[in-house]
Structures are given as structure tokens and as C-alpha cells.
Structure 1
Amino acid sequence: MKPVDTVVAAKLVSVAINGISYQGLSESLGISAAEAHAASRRLIKARLFRDKDRQVPYPKRQALLEFWVHGLKYVYPAELGAPSRGMATSVGALPLSALFPVTEEGVPVWPSADGNVRGPALEPVHPSALTAAQDSRVYELLTLIDALRVGRAREQHLARDLLKARLYSWC
């Protein structure tokens, strides 16, 4: 698996009911159609998605949730860096931002010149996350995933519950 697979998985979950073409997938994530197709194939090979007579794979909800909750932080570890300007993530973005107060250090951010929030830098799981975040559902999934990668126990627990709710209602 590669880091882009996580972003592709989030997008496929966000459009699971309506579906999407590989061309639409690539355009919405800012990656090539070949890269989107290869990521989808890897997700199927990892048994996180399945071909279901659809143009693109369909999520295996329980397997994907298990990987996101228990595996992702080990496969793609995250570290908070120096203060930076960027897009809020983890506890700094909805839905978790409504549940946690802002600390003195600020909220974690994906570094970006276009960002409007200042806080400790957290590199996204893949650079295409910034483009993918234009879709509010994908942004929400990726910020919850970041909470699992860098959050404390309470933040991780809430992120897990929110991810599960979204997986089971969107797919």
C-alpha cells in the first residue's frame, strides 16, 4: 500500500452510494487516472475494498475501519512539527473541533500557503489530501484519520466512533 491509497479510500467512501468514474476520482484528488486505478487495485488486494460490478471498488466497511483505527498510525506515523499556517486537521476541524477546546499551541494544520489557521504542522498522509479536502466529506474523513494518527486516547476514541458512523451511513 502507498499513502495515496488512504486518500483514494476516503474519496471512494464519500461517494460509495452514487459512485464515481476513475477520471472523476483522479480529477477530484489531483492525481492521474492511472494512479487512481492503481490505488484502487491495491485497496482490493489488501481486502479493504471489493469489486461489486461497479466502475470503481466498494468499501468493506469493517475491514477498512479496522485498518484506519489500528493500522494506519503504524504504517504512516505522524509527528507534529513547528508552527505553520495551513488547513486545520485532527481536533482542529469539524466534527472534532466542536468537542475540544483550542490549546495554547493551536490546532494541528496541514501546511499550506492558502491556509488560514496557525498551529503545529502535521504533514497529511499524502499531498493530494489538500486537493481532496475540497470535498467536505473527504476532508472530514481525513481529519478524523489524522486524529487517530496523532490524537490522545479520548480524541482517538471519538474519532473512531465518528469514522464508524460515517462508514456505515455513507456506504
Structure 2
Amino acid sequence: MIQTKNNLKPQDVVILLKIIALGDKSWFHHTIAKELGISQSEVSQSLNRSKYAGLIDGERKKVNKLAFTEFLLHGVSYVFPQQPGAMVRGIATAHSAAPLNKIIVATEKYVWPYAKGSDRGQAVEPLYSSVVEATKKDTELYELLTLVDAIRVGKIREKELAKKELEKRILDA
């Protein structure tokens, strides 16, 4: 029998990135839930999965930055792969958004589908459906998620630049 209750889900990455984006600010399950548009019970279950995977400490408060960075750099593109889709209106992501859009000039644009978005590009499904709304209020989380998307959908150059920037932002924080 295959056990699946402890397998990571995409929202686990989003929640851990949100904790990192908060830095030294104190947080509670209900505040994370509200800011991300995820139920409080799902946040709790997510933190349990992350604890099981060794990505957060036993108290479920402090991200194991080394392990989480290792997972993002080498595993996220295999566990949560994404292929760019049809041209849609949305919010820029991957190399089309900050911080990589300051370094990379590309003809193709990637966006999270969003009817009120101001960009047009190939659709990239966000890690979790509430990400677009959540990132409107949190620039740090937005940039972390766009870097993760660059690893998920980018070519070699984009992936390498995103990996270096993620390492710097997570491990040096």
C-alpha cells in the first residue's frame, strides 16, 4: 500500500516561501492562512508534511533553509513540473518578472493566468491557485515564487540565474 498523506504538495512550497518572506516577523497559522488565501487546517497539514520531509523544524516555526534550498534547486522542477501553455492575460512570472527581468531580455513572456493582469504571455500554472492574489500584497513572496517558476519552466541560463538568486535570498536571509 502506498502512503500519500505525507507527500509534499505545491502549497507546501508556497507556505515555506511565505515564512521565509516574513523574515524575523512573528506569525501564526491563521495569519499565514489569511495572507495566502489557504484554510488554517491546510496550513497546519502543510507544516506537518514539511516537518516530515525535514523542511521545517520540530516546532513547525523555522524553515530548514539548507534543506529547503536544496529541494528548490534540485527537486522542485521534477516534483512540480510545468510547461508553458497558451497565450493569456496575466501576471508576469519566471524570467518575465522581477528580479530576473532586469538581467534577462527574452522574446517570450510567461504569466500566471489572471483576468485583471496587465501582461500577456504563455500561461504558467502557479504552484497554488491563491498565489496571484497573495502576491499582490507581498513583493518578497512574489519574487521568490517567480524565481521558483524560473526553475520550473526556464531554460538552462534562466534556471542557473534563478538558482543563484534563490540561494542568496534564502541562505543569506
Tell me the TM-score normalized by structure 1: 0.92
Q: 1:40 aligns with which of 37, 47, 69?
A: 47
Equivalent in the alignment of 1:108: 110
1:156 matches 2:159:
yes
**8 Å CA contact 1:47, 1:60 repeated in 2:** yes
CA shift, 1:59, in A, is 1.1
Alignment partner of 1:117 is 2:119: yes
Question: Counterpart of 2:4?
Answer: none
Structure 1 residue aligned with 2:89: 85
Matches within 5 A, 1:47-86: 47-52=54-59, 56-86=60-90
Task: Note the aligned Cα RMSD (angstroms).
Answer: 1.2
- For residues 36 and 131 of structure 1, the distance between their equivalents in structure 2, rounded to whole angstroms, comes to 17
Question: SS of 2:151's equivalent?
Answer: helix
1: CA distance, partners of 2:172 / 2:131? 22
**3-state SS, counterpart of residue 102 of structure 1:** coil
CA distance in 1, matches of 2:26, 2:139: 16
1:125 Cα deviation after fit: 1.3
1:48–1:60 Cα contact (<8 Å) kept: yes
Query: How much identity, in percent, do the aligned residues show?
Result: 37
Query: Counterpart in 1 of 2:99?
Result: 95
Number of aligned residue pairs: give it.
Answer: 165
Range that drifts further, 56-65 or 107-116:
56-65
Gaps of 5+ in 2: 1-7
Cα distance in 2 for residues equivalent to 1:57 and 1:5: 13
Moved over 3 A (4+): none
1:26 is matched with 33
Q: Counterpart of 1:58 in 2: which secondary structure? A: coil
Give how far 1:51 is off: 3.3
| Aligned equivalents of 1:6, 1:114: Cα separation in 2 | 25
